[in-house]
Structure 1
Amino acid sequence: MADAERIPLTRRLARHLQRWGAYWVAALALLAASEVLWWWQTWPVRELLPAAQEPAA
């Protein structure tokens, strides 16, 4: 591809976001939801760990 035919980076990025932006948003939302769910499900374990490490009196 000759330099005259190259599409500027900003134009390529804009085209990519137009085409795939909704998928990026959905993927990031699913990732955030899975992180929140993991944090919520493992909360009792994290609460019990410090108590288990304390020496018995």
Structure 2
Amino acid sequence: MKTRKRREKLQAIAEFRAEARKRAAEIIPLQIHFLSGALEIGRDLEPAGPMAGFRG
């Protein structure tokens, strides 16, 4: 791979990772709605039942 093309590819990867980190840190409106509902009820809203997964 030529140096220029490699540099462009590495730059694209770095930008993608930066965007992923930025989006991972954001709290979306659906999460805020869920958390505010949990605060109103006054308890932790963890999933329950067979679809919740293994708890060991």
TM-score, normalised to structure 1's length? 0.48
More helix by share: 1
